[in-house]
Amino acid sequence: MAAIYDRVALIGLGLIASSMAHAMRQNGLANEIVGHARSPETRATALELGICDAVFATAAEAVADADLVVLAVPVGAMGDLAAEIAPHLKPGATVTDVGSVKQSVIAAVAPHMPEGVHFVAGHPLAGTEHSGPRAGFAALFRNRWWLLTPDETTNRAAVDRLRALCVAMGANVDEMDAAHHDLVLAVTSHTPHLIAYTMVGVADDLGRVTDSEVVKYSAAGFRDFTRIAASDPVMWRDVFLTNKDATLEILGRFTEELFALQRAIRLGDGQHLQEYFTRTRAIRRGIIEAGQDTAAPDFGRAPNADLGQKPGLAPKSDG
Ligand code: NAP
């Protein structure tokens, strides 16, 4: 496949950036990939694994002459990085991000973008609970959604070129308004993560259930919560700090539903419970029919060729 960008600069060299590098290399989508991460260890690992052709100690150096700059750091770090790189961006370059929240990233990054540089915010709905440059793999984005949130002022040619890159890495691309994105992700990803964190915290607090029992009998449902709750603490701290309104809105609804179920259990209202669980079961079927998970009983654990995942890694629909 012909290269879509000549030089790509990855700022942050963790799971998402390293997966992008592998996918771009596998498909010949960039002639040169350079990068920056905070720590010398991460930069050295990126060179060792061939993720980057060159790494730089500062983001400013990394973006010089890049046609595409990808901000792949925790959401809370994006604004400062945008300010740092702004004077060094090449005229006509595209800057994108992969942050899990869109309104706050746009508010933090867009004001720094110089005239003639195109900022197109984005978010791949693909991830695992693993972090860092060693966690990446080329198939991460295959058959996953990559959401772009341009507005009416965003350069159309820049959006289409970025879209072509995402598609060439195996993703399906949709465009939507940033506020809508944040609400959708609060439902599908952010609130479920918070619930998983809570459930694992509850089990940890529960003195009557010993640690060994929690681990031994975890396949009863708890195991899936623990996998989600093993996600990167800094990334998820930033998600909740920056998608505050949408998450609180969905949490409010969640609490109401939980109280209704609690009441049904207390009153022995089996009809309410059964009707509720019948409705939720249909949603699971819809996800499988949409190709976003497998119906296999061990879903997410055995290597699954259909989902193109790294052996031993379970796909998560986000971050
Ligand atoms: P990650 O594996 O934890 O990697 C983060 C990278 O950012 C590391 O290379 C880290 O460098 C670097 N970094 C952190 N703060 C920095 C700073 N202030 N300046 C420069 N570099 C900095 O993270 P990730 O999972 O790839 O996530 C990156 C972004 O993608 C986040 O915004 C997240 O919301 C989004 N996202 C994540 C997922 C997911 O499931 N993981 C899915 C979709 C989107 P050091 O190693 O040197 O500390």
Task: Look at the chain and count its residues.
Answer: 319
Alpha carbon nearest to ligand 1 atom 40, residue:
127
Indicate which atom in ligand 1 lies nearest the CA of residue 232: 3
Give me the chain's average pLDDT, please. 91
Alpha helices, H only, 119-190: 156-168, 178-185
State the amino acid at position 218 in one-letter form. S
The tokens describing 23, both together, are 């996918």
Kindly tell me if the per-residue pLDDT of 5 is higher than 80: yes
Tell me: the pLDDT tens digits for 48-96?
999 999 999 999 999 999 999 999 999 999 999 999 999 999 999 999 9
Phi-psi region of 280 (alpha: psi -120 to 50; beta: other; left: phi over 0): alpha
Kindly state the average pLDDT of the residues 28-45: 98
CA 281 to the chain's CA centroid: 25
Concatenating the DSSP letter of every residue in 107-122 gives HHHGGGPPTT-EEEEE
Q: Kindly state if the Cβ of 13 falls inside 6 Å of ligand 1.
A: yes
Kindly state the average pLDDT of the residues 219-233: 86
pLDDT > 70: percent of the chain? 91
Q: How far is the CA of 91 from the centre of ligand 1 (A)?
A: 26
pLDDT for 304: 40
Q: How far apart are CA 204 and CA 213, in angstroms?
A: 11
Where does 101-227 show beta strands of DSSP type E? 118-124, 145-148, 172-175
Tell me: the pLDDT tens digits for 161-195?
999 999 999 999 999 999 999 999 999 999 999 99
Where does 222-318 show beta strands of DSSP type E? none
Kindly state the average pLDDT of the residues 207-211: 63
The tokens describing 169, both together, are 């890495």
pLDDT for 220: 74
Kindly tell me if the per-residue pLDDT of 312 is higher than 50: no
pTM: 0.91
The tokens describing 192, both together, are 């479920």
Q: How far apart are CA 169 and CA 162, in angstroms?
A: 11
Residues 128 and 308: beta-carbon distance below 8 Å: no
Q: How far apart are CA 123 and CA 181, in angstroms?
A: 9
Indicate which atom in ligand 1 lies nearest the CA of residue 100: 34
pLDDT for 36: 98
Radius of gyration of the chain (CA): 21
pLDDT for 224: 85
Grouping H, G, I as helix, E, B as strand and the rest as coil, residue 160 is: helix
User: Which domains, from first to last, does the chain contain?
Assistant: 5-177 (3.40.50.720), 180-307 (1.10.3660.10)
Where does the chain show beta strands of DSSP type E? 5-11, 30-36, 54-55, 68-71, 94-97, 118-124, 145-148, 172-175
Which of 51-60, 187-196, 211-220, 235-244 has the weakest average pLDDT?
Answer: 211-220
Q: Kindly state if the Cβ of 72 falls inside 6 Å of ligand 1.
A: yes
State the amino acid at position 25 in one-letter form. R
